[in-house]
Amino acid sequence: MNDFLSARGLAKSYVIGRRTLDVLRGVNLEVARGEFLALCGASGAGKSTLLHLIGGLDSPNAGEIFFDGRNVTKFSNAELTHFRNRRVGFVFQVYHLLPELTALENVCLPARVARISAAVSGERAGHLLQRVGLGDRLEHKPSELSGGEQQRVAIARALINQPELLLADEPTGNLDSHTGSEIIELLKKLSVERQMTLVIATHDTKVAAHAQRAVELADGHFA
């Protein structure tokens, strides 16, 4: 078993009316600590579902996920909450920023949930926003930022609690190609700097080409 992230026999299905949709069918995956992995496949292949299972946002119908030697599928609700908040960072295609909050306040949110003091969380958030190139946008609200800038805020927010694993679901999907390339380069640099494992779900071959390794999902399992 891999000593960092290992998924064995993952199956996930959804019932839609009278029909059962099998999204994942016995998926096995191992990811090394510090690796940059691209999950590839067409829309509907199960990439997002697999990321959600790995990150504890959803539970499989069958199979197990081990993170740093612990079985995530056996976690209690409290353990899952701690896992999602402290050990995993999430970046999505949709930025999910709260419109009434500034960039700094949006980045601080996960730290405040983790009961990190306002002073420490504010200092961390300011540093991260500087690092992602938004040092002069701390007090701007999402409506005052471009799509690329909003995604940078979302990346900073994902990193605020210093996670070991960063999961990115089509992080360039709403961006033009130039801005998307900048975001991928930023994610790569940050993962190296912070010694994070990075797993990106993408249908874009240009994005996948940046990864150390790429695997392709098709019909609910790896091709």
Which tens digit of pLDDT belongs to each residue from 116-143?
Answer: 999 999 999 999 999 999 999 999 999 9
Distance in angstroms (rounded) separating the CA atoms of residues 22 and 13: 4
Strands 62-67 and 36-40, how do they pair? unpaired
Within a domain: 83: yes
Within a domain: 20: no
Q: Specify the pTM.
A: 0.94
Residue ranges making up the domain that contains 146? 34-58+77-216
Within a domain: 185: yes
Q: How confident is the model at residue 220 (pLDDT cuts 50, 70, 90)?
A: confident
Mean pLDDT of the chain: 94
In this structure, which amino acid lies at residue 52? Answer: H
Within a domain: 1: no
| CA-based torsion, 11, 14, 18, 19: positive or negative | negative
Number of H helices, E strands in the chain: 7, 10
Q: What is the pLDDT of residue 200?
A: 97
Alpha-carbon distance values, 23 to 28, 84, 142 (Å): 14, 23, 34
Going edge to edge, which strands form the sheet with 5-16?
Answer: 19-31, 5-16, 62-67, 70-71
Of 170, 32, 162, nearest to 93 (Cα)? 170
Per the structure, the count of domains in the chain is 1
- Say which CATH number the domain at 91 has: 3.40.50.300
Q: What is the pLDDT of residue 1?
A: 44
Q: Cα dihedral angle (220, 164, 177, 95), rounded to 10 degrees?
A: 90
Which tens digit of pLDDT belongs to each residue from 20-59?
Answer: 989 999 999 999 999 999 999 988 889 999 999 999 999 9
Tokens at 45, concatenated: 């292949």
Which tens digit of pLDDT belongs to each residue from 171-213?
Answer: 998 999 999 999 999 999 999 999 999 999 999 999 999 999 9
